Chain A
Amino acid sequence: MKRFFEGFVCGILNGFFGSGGGVAAVPIIEHELGGDVPQTEKVRRAHANSVAVIFVLSITAAVSYLFGGGIDMASAWSYMPYGAAGAVIGALFLRKIRAAWLQRLFGALICAAAVRGLFS
């Protein structure tokens, strides 16, 4: 029942915003993995398993978006191959450089975009 509710939280975000389910999934899975896994390994596993959960939920969400108004497939296709290439690059070379300054920079950019989104 607890897992059902935890999944539900990830699903609501992913369905409502079309992204962001991982934001909830990573800490939830980290918690579920328990205390006997070392911290760095836990973070790694939490990210890996959250992508798996969000993958299944995103398929569901994509199908329900398709039925509820459709998806602009042409736009999606125009970004997809580059995204896939980026995913391979990221997985191969960049997994280790989760540098603090990179995280801060990204955080600052997101905040700036959020403020612009709020007032535009």
Chain B
Amino acid sequence: MIQAVVGVLSGVIASMGLGGGFVLLIWLTLFQNMPQREAQGVNLMFFLPIALISVIMHARAGLIDKKLVWSLIPGGILGVVLGTLGSQAIGNDLLRKLYALFLLAFGLRELFRKSPGTETKQSRAQKKS
């Protein structure tokens, strides 16, 4: 039951572009005590069908710029390989701490960032004048 709640919540947040991977990773590491790297592997597999569904839906809506996407892939693949090797090399404890720092940076940004479409006092004032 709790797996259903965590799974659906992660899926919804991922497809909203809010960072769904964080939900499952936090759940697995902090509440299920899964080692960091094992949880990362599970999260990667978990994300694949979600991403496939999202990409198909976005492509149908005509939002995908194939040329742009492919131009980012070669560098991305090199990065993935080096990143994976790095995460293997440093061990679970340090990886967990680094991930927590990464989360903190992301969380603070989400806390203080203006939502697209949100009116600020300034933009309202500009509209009035």
Chain A: residues with CB nearer than 8 A to chain B? 3-23, 25-26, 28-29, 32-33, 39-40, 43-45, 47-62, 64-66, 68-73, 75-76, 78-91, 94-95, 98-100, 102-104, 106-118, 120
Q: Which residues of B contact A21 (CB under 8 A)?
A: 76
- Indicate if the CB atoms of B41 and A16 lie closer than 8 Å: no
Q: Which residues of A contact B129 (CB under 8 A)?
A: none
A51 and B51 in contact, given A15-B84, A114-B101 (Cβ under 8 angstroms): yes
Instruction: Report the minimal beta-carbon distance from B118 to chain A, rounded to whole angstroms.
Output: 5
What are 13 sample pairs from A and B whose C-beta atoms fall under 8 A apart?
A: A11-B77, A12-B79, A17-B102, A19-B47, A22-B17, A29-B72, A51-B51, A51-B55, A53-B76, A54-B47, A62-B45, A68-B88, A79-B6
Segment 66-105 of B: residues with Cβ below 8 Å from A = 68-69, 71-88, 95-104
Instruction: Report the minimal beta-carbon distance from B37 to chain A, rounded to whole angstroms.
Output: 7
A29→B117 CA distance, assembly (Å): 19
Segment 1-23 of B: residues with Cβ below 8 Å from A = 3-22
- Indicate if the CB atoms of B45 and A107 lie closer than 8 Å: no
A78→B58 CA distance, assembly (Å): 26
A44→B63 CA distance, assembly (Å): 8
- Could you tell me how many residues of chain B have their Cβ less than 8 Å away from some Cβ of chain A? 96
Q: Which residues of A contact B51 (CB under 8 A)?
A: 51, 54-55, 58
Q: Which of A51, A83, A120 lies in contact with B58, CB distance below 8 A?
A: A51
Q: Which of A19, A39, A68, A114 lies in contact with B116, CB distance below 8 A?
A: A39
- Indicate if the CB atoms of A11 and B83 lie closer than 8 Å: yes
Q: Which residues of A contact B14 (CB under 8 A)?
A: 83, 86-87, 90
Bits for B91-129, please: 1 = Cβ < 8 Å to A, else 0.
000011111111110111111111111100000000000
- Indicate if the CB atoms of B11 and A87 lie closer than 8 Å: yes
Q: Which residues of A contact B12 (CB under 8 A)?
A: 86-87, 89-90, 94
A7 and B72 in contact, given A83-B11, A98-B115 (Cβ under 8 angstroms): yes
- Indicate if the CB atoms of B58 and A103 lie closer than 8 Å: no
- Indicate if the CB atoms of B75 and A11 lie closer than 8 Å: yes
